[in-house]
Amino acid sequence: MSDFVVCDRVSVGHQGRGDEMIFEATVTDSESPLYNSRVVLRELTSVQAKRRGRRALQVLKKLVRQRLMYHAYAMQVHGYVSPSKDGEDDPFILVHGYHGSYSLRHWLQLSDWLPTLEATLALDEEWVRRVGDDTIGGPAVTRQLRLIRIIMRDLLIGVNYLHSHGLAHTQLRLENVHLCPVDRHIKVGILGNAVDLHNSDSKGTDNLDRKAMMIAFDMRCVGFMMSKMVLKELMDSANFTKFMSFLNKMLDRNWGAGWHLLSLLLATKPFARISCLEALRHPFLCGPKWRIDPSIDLVRWGLGSTAVRMAEDYIYSRPQRRRLAYFIELMELLNPHPMLKNWNDFLHGRWRLLYCTGQHIGLTLRQPPQRTLIGNAYLTFTRDEDANETTLQLTSEITFKLMPSSSWPHNKSGPHGSLLINSIVRTTPGRRLYLKEAETSPSKFSFQESVSQLMGSKKWKGVGSLKELPHSLPSTKLVHGELDVKMNLDPSHANVGEAQAVLNEVRIQIPPEMFDITKLVCGTYIDSRMMVLRGVNGSALLFTRS
């Protein structure tokens, strides 16, 4: 320890565990290549902590072949201080690099974190090459998006460097990732818990599964870090509403590319998570200077996100209704799960009705005998343990509110009610046929013609394997049993005549398929977040998972 001058304080960004003591020091040995440079001394007290320190030294030997990459993207471990006799009770002090006073978490907790990080990561020619974005300033959304791109790309390059050398970090958190002000690189924390991706004890498939699981775990940690960078203001409940609007503006850009990347990083199934190289090519992390061809999965995601956003605007003019129907048809054309077994996996759960391409009848221009305001409409598919996997219990639930005033009140208050329709439904494989244009009457809007023009455009050329529109698409037929209808009303509206008037008004405002669920004949699109069902009259019902 005579080679160091220990400082009287420690930076807040170097917090350790309960079995570690942290010191900052300056090297005083004139013969050392680290002479007069600041380092961090991490004294490891427990047996587990010492094991982590020795593991970090072993990993250093494995990564020394590419020293330049190691110095750029990993926290440098210089060595250790320990007595000559290696006993379990002897102190073990790990010596590693000092990369600024703050961890990434503490950078983000600064009150002026955005301009401070922008000044630290000043855009120059190198950064233009890295992120493909040479713009300066702009709205807060654009500035934060540019900064997250820079940090995420640097972090992914560092993690990919470890994975390519057969290592998984397993401890990626904002607290142990540092931003070096000198070379402006993200430094991945000490590799004391790094594991080898190739286990000599396992062979063949087990080894491949283990490697994929460990890489997927690291990618999930990276996804959590990205979420915290985007959602950091949510820690303060007062900023929740304001930031939700800000969040949507940022992640909704480029057809929801930010949401798509987050969903791939945080996928529940490890094998469904994205790799480092795939994430680096993702459009969300690529600036406007780079032209990245979107994958079919991202195109499908963008179609769904745009349809949801348009439907939630609730301004259903004729051009908007035409465009929504068009997007739903495109989603059906790009259905990722057309097989019946996929529907049986995704179908169970609760789905909220978002939009229907059929006729819409509201309250604005009518004077109904019972003024009723529709709340939400849900379809719930429940699997019966005694039945086979293709038989489900289907429940349609419509909530509504009765407004006693005959005029349109500003305060939409009143007694609540609900309508429940139950049935047994069985799923079978089927196909949806597209009639040829010669067999149908001419219409103002032809889906086949529009999609053909779309597939031939430069923007969509090469997306998917479709060369021309098919004459039919696989679907899942819904075979229904008997219906059981129940309506719940406030006791003050127990009169039979009033109840019938309320029921008639609810039936007028909701799609007929939500009341008579036997009119739902097939499913044409499903994934983990959205579903499209078709009625007997051809109208499409768009659902989101609730």
Split the chain (546 residues) into runs of 10 and give each run's mean pLDDT: 81 73 86 86 85 84 72 81 65 83 83 83 64 68 83 90 87 86 84 79 72 88 85 61 69 77 84 86 78 78 85 77 89 89 90 88 69 89 81 92 69 82 92 65 52 52 56 88 88 75 88 92 91 92 92
Distance CA 34, CA 170 (A): 29
Nearest to 99 by CA among 189, 23, 159, 32: 189
pLDDT of 512: 92
Residue 25 contacts residue 43 (beta carbons within 8 Å): no
pLDDT of 513: 92
Residue 156, SS3? helix
Residue 274, SS3? coil
Residue 533 contacts residue 475 (beta carbons within 8 Å): no
* Residue 74 DSSP symbol: B
What angle is formed at CA 306 by the lines to CA 302 and CA 308, rounded to 5 degrees? 120
pTM over 0.85: no
Cα-to-chain-centroid distance, residue 315: 27
Query: Which whole-number Å values give the CA distances from 104 to 144, 177, 540, in the listed order?
Result: 15, 6, 47
pLDDT of 353: 93
pLDDT of 520: 93
pLDDT of 459: 47
Name the percent of the chain in helix, strand, coil, to the closest 5.
40, 25, 35
Tell me the domains of the chain and their CATH numbers.
Answer: 4-97 (3.30.200), 106-292 (1.10.510.10), 335-434+470-545 (no CATH)
